[in-house]
Amino acid sequence: MNNLKKRKIIDRFFHGLVFCTTSFALIVLFILLFDIFKDGTKWLSLDFFTNFTSRFIEKAGIKAAITGSIWVIFVTIIFSFPIGVGTALYLEEYSDDKSLLTRIIKLNISNLAGVPSIVFGILGLGIFVNTLGFGRSILSGGLTLTLLILPIIIVSAQEAIKSVPKELRYGAYALGITKWQVIKGVVLPYSLPGILTGSILAIARALGETAPLIMIGAVTFIAFTPESIFDKFTTLPMQIYNWSTMPQAEFHDLAAGGIIVLLILLLGANAISIILRNKYQSRIKG
């Protein structure tokens, strides 16, 4: 009995311990959010969104950073979505699992997912900025982020395509239509919510990336909105970085203001993907 008591005490102690570690992680999350909102909310006014960055704290805003982020993300979506979904379609629908090419592509995608983002920045600097001559432009930034998030989009699109029931495909084939017609008419519409969910999360990731864009040479002191993809740019995370490195503490609070905007955008993207996922799941059940 004594032994049993001891074992039960150990169990209870362990339960407390793992509960504490979980709580620790959550408490850190709340402290982090609280700290940022405490520092940053006082800057959130309309002027903050309509002013360019400035050496004078009161006049500094995120207009260039927000428009720059929108431009870069736009380029990223245009390239990453078709390439990612196309690759997933090839891997799931057209390729033979035993073929060497397929295995190389799959292994390669999982390796790319583990490459540090700054290495993609170095790649972007070497290829897009210097070799292809796109310069330190929105195009270079968007293409670099495209390569960075491709593995995430491909893998999530593969999952979504895999989840299309075989019966639906066979039913379509039985009508005598071609493979592409099956994909266009059955596979894609059915898996689209799943594909979008994964893509939105991947694009949210791109929206928060800083390091690769520093390599591209996004300039932080920009007091104009870009007009074409060949323009120089700055993005929201870049602007936050720039303000965080300033010696004056007031600029740090300005950075916190930028972080709030960034986090709201990211949480919004997450919320959209959750709503999509829920809709999607209920459709499978139905």
Partner 1 sequence: MIYENTPIKSSNKTLKRGKTKEKIISKILMVLASISILTTIGIIVILSKETFLFFQEISIKDFLTGTEWTALFANPKFGVLPLVLGTLMIAIYGSIVAIPVGLGSAIYLSEYASDKTRKIVKPLLEILAGIPSIVYGYFALTFITPILKKFFPDINVFNALSASIAVGIMIIPMISSLSEDAMKAVPDEIRQGAYALGATKFEVSTKVVIPAALSSIISSFVLAISRAIGETMIVTLAAGSTPRLTLNPLESVQTMTSFIVQVASGDVTHGGLIYKTIFAVGMLLFLITLLMNIIARMIIKKYREEY
Helices vs strands, H then E, count in the chain: 12, 0
Residue 35 or 227: which CB sits closer to partner 1? 35
List the structure tokens of 202: 């991947």
- Under rule CB under 8 A, which residues in 184-203 are in contact with partner 1? 201
Tokens 């916190």 identify what position?
Answer: 256
CB of residue 64 to partner 1, shortest distance in Å: 17
| Binding residues among 229-258 for partner 1 as defined by CB under 8 A | 237, 240-241, 244-245, 252, 255-256
Our CB check for partner 1 shows the closer of 20 and 50 to be 20
> Does 221 engage in binding with partner 1 (CB under 8 A)?
no
What is the C-alpha separation between 204 and 270, in angstroms, rounded? Answer: 8
DSSP string covering 172-190: HHHTT--HHHHIIIIIHHH
What number of CA atoms fall less than 13 Å from residue 30's CA on the CB side? Answer: 6
Q: Which amino acid is at 266?
A: L
Secondary structure E strands in the chain = none
> Rounded to the nearest whole angstrom, what is the least distance from the CB of residue 227 to partner 1 in the complex?
25
In terms of CB distance, is 227 or 252 closer to partner 1? Answer: 252
Task: Fill in the amino acid letter for 191.
Answer: S
> Which residue do the tokens 């800057």 mark?
43
Q: Does 225 bind partner 1 (CB under 8 A)?
A: no
- φ, ψ dihedrals at 99, nearest 5°: -70, 145
Q: Which residue type is seen at 267? A: L
Q: What letter represents residue 148's amino acid?
A: L
Q: Is 151 in the site for partner 1 (CB under 8 A)?
A: yes
* Residue 175 CB coordination number (10 Å): 9
Q: Is 111 in the site for partner 1 (CB under 8 A)?
A: yes
| Cβ proximity to partner 1, 21 vs 46, nearer residue | 21
Interface residue with partner 1, options 259, 261, 276, 280 (CB under 8 A): 259
Question: Is position 108 an interface residue for partner 1 (rule: CB under 8 A)?
Answer: yes
Q: Which of residues 72-91 bind partner 1 (CB under 8 A)?
A: 82-83, 86-87, 89-91
Residue 95 or 225 having the CB closest to partner 1: 95
Query: Quick one: which of 186, 154, 148, 161 has its CA closest to 85?
Result: 154
Interface residue with partner 1, options 44, 57, 168, 211 (CB under 8 A): 211
* Closest distance of CB 232 from partner 1, Å: 15
Q: Which of residues 10-29 bind partner 1 (CB under 8 A)?
A: 10-11, 14-15, 17-22, 24-26, 28-29
